[in-house]
Structure 1
Amino acid sequence: MTMPVKVWDVWVRLTHWMVAGIVLWNLFGPTDSTHRLLGYVAAGLVVARIAWGFVGSRSARFSAWWPTPSHLIDYLRSLVAGKPLHHLSHNPLGGLMALFLWLLILGLAVSGWIMRLDAFWGEEWPQEIHTWLSIAVEVCVCVHIAAAVLMSFWTRENLIRAMVTGYKRRNATPKS
């Protein structure tokens, strides 16, 4: 038996979609003052979301979805067995991807800021780091979207809709 349950609060959904929009704009738009400003806004939103991971709603908290090694192993085993464990919040791989994307976005903001400092004017390494981080973000975003679509079909739970509406279905015996 399943029933809808509110999982993602408005702050989680707002930061998710705002950061997603900013990242898409900054990956494919011009690299001008708007790019810089939006990069700093994205970093600020990520910092705010990280803070929300400590004080926010139950499913937004790190304690609800932190990808520990044992959780990752259990989840990977369930995938290999063809019966993915249901998680009310992020599954362990989704949680790992969220953390990785947040670190990359913060790294992009820092490397972008460093590129503008007089101390590093003319240095190529900050630009190279920024470029490699942006490529890593592109790859991770593609994997993130593909995984959300694939898992939505596999588990018959529309994860994209859940990030829009805030509701997921609760199985009779959810994992977390």
Structure 2
Amino acid sequence: MDATVSTGKSLVKVWSPYIRLFHWLLVLCVAVAWLSSGEIMKVHELAGYSAGILIASRLIAGLLGSRYARFRQFVRGPGAVTEYLADVAHRRERRYLGHNPAGGAMVLALLCCVAGIALTGWMQTTDAYWGVAWVEDTHKILGNGILVLIGLHVGGVLLASLRHHENLVRAMVTGRKRAPSRDDIA
């Protein structure tokens, strides 16, 4: 699906309903799992399994989904991410209609971290890995590490929103962003 200009508002459709629903459901699952950890284990496990299913569906969308959902559209190598972050530091970064290189790297980091949390959580319910220290430790480290990634993600969204004069949180609700200018990367 290509970005299409909406009538009379100079906005374009970027985030599909699936991507928006995935994003906010994953936020909910991670929050519920983190808040219920060690307290209400049935709720914790349900949130974890739900997050795992969401991650699996996102991997499919990353290969077969809409234009801005596809990994090939936003996954860049370490050099491109480093160059983009240097541009951010020098206040010369370009606006991307989809994810910028740092945002793409963050998507991958968040997906991998949540997948690792879900996997190690499930492993703890099996006979083979129940009570195994490294599995429990990895689950806890990733469970706390996701908070660092979330903080960096929110910080990056706020910075890009300010720098490019665009409410990216609203874009993740409505699916629409400002139409690209000549200097933007669509």
Which TM class, normalised by the smaller chain length?
over 0.9
Structure 1 residue 70, shift from structure 2 partner: 4.2
2:87 to 48, 59, 78: 78
2:25 to 18, 40, 43: 18
- Stretch of structure 1 that moved more, 119-128 or 84-93: 119-128
Q: Which of 86, 98, 106 is 2:107 aligned to?
A: 98
Task: Give TM-score scaled by structure 2 length.
Answer: 0.88
Query: Distance in 2 between the 1:133 and 1:31 partners?
Result: 19
Asked if 1:129 is matched to 2:138, the reply is yes
Q: TM-score, normalised by structure 1?
A: 0.92
| Percent sequence identity over aligned pairs | 35
The equivalent position to 1:42 in structure 2, one of 39, 51, 54, is: 51
Unaligned 5+ segments in structure 1 are none
Residue 3 of structure 1 contacts residue 171 of structure 1 at CA under 8 Å; is this kept in 2?
A: no
1:69 to 53, 78, 98: 78
Gaps of 5+ in 2: 1-8
Q: How many residues align?
A: 175
Instruction: Return the letter of the residue paired with 1:25.
Output: V
- Runs of at least 4 residues of structure 1 off by over 6 A? none
1:87 corresponds in structure 2 to: 96
Q: Which has the higher helix share?
A: 1
User: Counterpart of 2:185?
Assistant: 175
Distance (Å, rounded) in 1 between the aligned partners of 2:158 and 2:32: 22
**Cα deviation 1:46-67 (Å, max 9, x = unaligned):** 1111111111111111121112
Cα distance in 1 for residues equivalent to 2:10 and 2:179? 5
In structure 2, distance between residues paired with 1:35 and 1:104: 16
Change (3 A) 1:120 1:58: closer
**Higher relative contact order (Cα pairs below 8 Å, separated by 6+ residues):** 1
1:140 to 139, 145, 149: 149
Of 145, 161, 164 in structure 2, the residue corresponding to residue 155 of structure 1 is 164
